[in-house]
Amino acid sequence: MATLLKSHRKDLGGFSVSRIIPNARAKSVGPFVFVDHMGPAEFVAGTGINVRPHPHIGLATISYLLQGSMLHRDSLGTIQEIHPGDVNWMTAGKGIVHSERETLETRGQDHTLNGLQCWIALPEDKADMEPGFIHVNKAHLPYIHCEKVLMRLIAGEAFGYSSPVKTYTPMFYLDIITEQGAVVARPCHESQTACYVMSGAVTIGQNTYRGGDFVILDDEADITTQENSRYFLLGGKPLAREPILKWNFLAYSADKIAQAEQRWKNGQFPTIPGDDHEFIPLP
């Protein structure tokens, strides 16, 4: 039987998100260990997103927007604005620092932000790899068209397609728009799978779910659209060993987490060129 997760609001300083995973009922779905729904939020001119520099280890972050834009900067020297449909994939590995802000053009007018921020656990043998960043324009992501269904494969592999976004463990992440009556099969029966409904109504098993519902599938094979809908399918092969997730750090030992905390306290992480005058303190 499918499991419905309830999100909770998390304040990020002038902006709140719906935090879905980690959850008391599920710490992860495949390699996805963190899922935030950012918005939809409306900002008046002069206000907006302003996430100060902060560190990560042991994971990859993936940003995907439905509305608005964000400006990513990191300690590798990357400066990349992301727009709806594009993908920002940042591999933290042994350690990276990044910020999420906005351009003058965005901040200078009323604007909307709506999107998903996910963290992917790196497998244990990749947890200390060199950090990296890639940006993939939406035009280079696979589109899957069939009757009453339009999909974009954000990352991983599904339905015989592969995203150019490099992943380190088997997974899939799909943005799907369907018309009433459409039936979408589960991408991989061997993988853990979740469906996050953004709008409309879909039936999974014997139950119908609507906007804001995040559902982890059990034996259910299909998602049937009751009314025109948009939803995400995400998941993959579970990691061989459950990692520890604390603040922005993921590791497979408590010692590694403690070392990362001390490095951040001592200012031993790399800094962001041109964005190194402030930071988020260790909580």
**pLDDT class for 16, splitting at 50, 70, 90?**
confident
- State the Cα torsion 53-57-58-64 to the nearest 10°: 0
Whether 265 maps to a domain, the answer reads no
Tell me what pLDDT residue 14 has: 63
Q: Are the C-beta atoms of residues 74 and 152 closer than 8 Å to each other?
A: no
Q: What is the 3-state secondary structure (H, E, C) of 135-166?
A: EECHHHCCEEEECCEEEEEEEEEECCEECCCC
Question: Residue 120 domain-assigned?
Answer: yes
User: Given the DSSP bridges, would you call strands 132-136 and 51-56 parallel, antiparallel or unpaired?
Assistant: unpaired
CA–CA gap between residue 153 and residue 232 (Å, rounded): 10
Write the CATH number for 48: 2.60.120.10
pLDDT tens-digit map of 211-254 = 999 999 998 889 999 999 999 999 999 888 999 999 999 999 99
Split at pLDDT 50, 70, 90, the class of 12 is low
Q: Report the alpha-carbon distance of residue 136 to residue 115 in Å, rounded.
A: 16
The pLDDT confidence band at residue 163, using thresholds 50, 70 and 90, is very high
Domain of residue 130 covers: 3-236
11, pLDDT greater than 90: no
Give the type of residue at 129.
Answer: M
Given this model, what pLDDT does residue 13 score?
Answer: 58
In a domain, 250, yes or no: no
Rounded to 5°, angle at Cα 233 from 94 and 243: 30
pLDDT at position 239 is: 86
**Number of domains the chain is built from:** 1
Cα angle 230, 48, 268; round to 5 = 105
